[in-house]
Amino acid sequence: MWGRFLASRRGNFAIAAAVAMVPLMLGVAASVDLIGTSDDAAQLQNSLDAAGLAIGTKYQASMSASDVQQLGQTFFAANMSAADAQELSGSLGAFQASASGDPGAYFISLSSSISRPAFISGMPAWQATRSASVKLKPGAQACVLALDQHADGAVSLQGSTDVAMNGCVIAANSDAPDAVNRGGSAIVSAGCVSTVGRTQGLTPPNATLSCGAPHENQYASFDPLADVVPPAYTLCLPVPNGKTVTLSPGTYCDKTLSGKITLNPGTYIMRNVTIKPGGNGSLSGQGVTIFLMENSQLTINANEQVNLSPPTSGPYAGITIFQAHGNTQPLLLNGGSGSVVSGFIYAPDAAITYTGNSDVNAQGSCLRLVGDTVAMIGNSAVKSDCTAELGGRAAYAGRMITLAK
């Protein structure tokens, strides 16, 4: 019987058809796997892109590598939730997110892979690996920046203040409804105002903005000095006796500096030091950077004179006062007649109060205030173009987020 089947034409056709079906079925299975894997890969890529853009809206240079990874994984999982449970688990396990760059431009890099079981049991799984890169660039140049994320009146312009910042932005990272608050008879003119939250009192005639109206509900601004590392401590130097002292660069510890204080050009590290000139006292130094470490504090009152400018080159170019992270001592600059201040005044975890008047002119208007919160009182004129005076250092408002890959 079997012989007759083989000898018949019908038998030969059946065998030939059966043999031909094997590669045909394999081809169909491969097509199913290819289309399915292609769809999975597209979802993987879309999820990576979305996670990268989401990280870009939240990223700050102070975040640790694990912070970036965890934040990215949260967004990635939400976008991959439609995937098969096994595939989702594998892609989450393979997910990687990292950040690099500097305040000029940051990059978020992401990658993951997905494994799709083959249509035919026992065949190897189909793999797809995808990556994404997001570029974060700062926005317009800022002269005042409050870093606190939730404070009411993070930037406060009150009293008889007259603040002129033509071509420069006032920025706040606070999501409060009055993140930037102008009150009283204060008058403000600036390139723009940019805030994560909302603003209050910034309407004509008391506020004149080149951008027309405040930019509210914006992405947070970058900390412009996030990558600055304070110098290492050295041996504590002695402070000369008397009410008139001249200090040389170095480390000073557990002192109260008062009277007429002159700083020679260079870098000063203050450890648990209080700088408070007192009545008719003064603080002066050209080409200096003062690091207020540990619990150090700077207080300049109205009857005291301050004349400070930063170096224009070197690792601390443009920085006049740097109050360390974790130091919450209020920083008060309220100079009297003849006072001149320029450069970055930086206190990321403390309140800065700057009082300007007809005598405090912010040398060449090259003043940058960056604090947890910033309050401005009195009259101040600050300009945006200070590249030479600040050694190329700048602060920026908001951010631009783009897919780079």
pLDDT at 1 over 60: no
pLDDT at 28 over 70: no
The residue among 310, 405, 343 whose CA lies nearest residue 143 is 343
pLDDT at 359 over 60: no
pLDDT at 90 over 80: no
pLDDT at 360 over 70: no
- pLDDT of the residue at 59: 93
Q: Which residue has the tokens 């660039």?
A: 137
pLDDT at 5 over 70: no
**Between 26 and 400, residue with greater pLDDT:** 400
pLDDT at 309 over 60: yes
Residues of the chain with pLDDT > 90: what percent? 60
**Between 7 and 325, residue with greater pLDDT:** 325
pLDDT digits (tens, 9 = 90+) for 65-86: 999 999 999 999 888 876 566 6
Q: How far apart are CA 57 and CA 398, in angstroms?
A: 10
33 pLDDT band (50/70/90 cuts)?
Answer: very low
- Return the DSSP state at 210: T
- pLDDT of the residue at 29: 43
Q: How far apart are CA 330 and CA 63, in angstroms?
A: 25
Q: How far apart are CA 179 and CA 194, in angstroms?
A: 10
Tokens for 114? 């997905």
- pLDDT of the residue at 370: 97
314 pLDDT band (50/70/90 cuts)?
Answer: very high
For residues 345 and 374, is the Cβ–Cβ distance under 8 A? no
Distances (CA, A) of 159 to 16, 163, 165, 362: 96, 11, 17, 19
- pLDDT of the residue at 15: 54
Residues 6+ apart with CB under 8 A from 314: 391
pLDDT at 261 over 90: yes
- pLDDT of the residue at 248: 97
- pLDDT of the residue at 85: 64
Query: What's the one-letter identity of residue 309?
Result: S
What are the b/e assignments for 208-245, b being 16+ CB within 10 Å?
A: ebeeeebbbebbbbbbbbbebeebeeeeeeeeeeeeee
116 pLDDT band (50/70/90 cuts)?
Answer: low
Average pLDDT over residues 246-258: 96
For residue 402, the tally of other CB atoms under 10 A from its CB is: 11
Q: How far apart are CA 367 and CA 154, in angstroms?
A: 18
pLDDT digits (tens, 9 = 90+) for 157-193: 987 778 888 889 999 999 999 999 998 888 999 999 9
- pLDDT of the residue at 337: 63
Mean pLDDT of the chain: 86
Tokens for 205? 């005639």
- pLDDT of the residue at 126: 61
- pLDDT of the residue at 87: 64
Residues of the chain with pLDDT > 70: what percent? 83
Q: How far apart are CA 229 and CA 367, in angstroms?
A: 21
- pLDDT of the residue at 117: 60
Residues 6+ apart with CB under 8 A from 248: 237, 264, 266
Instruction: Write down the pTM of the prediction.
Output: 0.84
pLDDT at 52 over 80: yes
For residue 325, the tally of other CB atoms under 10 A from its CB is: 15
Angle at 258 between CA 272 and CA 255, to 5 degrees: 25
36 pLDDT band (50/70/90 cuts)?
Answer: very low
pLDDT at 361 over 50: no
pLDDT digits (tens, 9 = 90+) for 185-229: 889 999 999 999 999 999 999 999 999 999 999 999 999 999 899
For residue 185, the tally of other CB atoms under 10 A from its CB is: 11
Average pLDDT over residues 87-97: 82
pLDDT digits (tens, 9 = 90+) for 363-373: 446 899 999 99
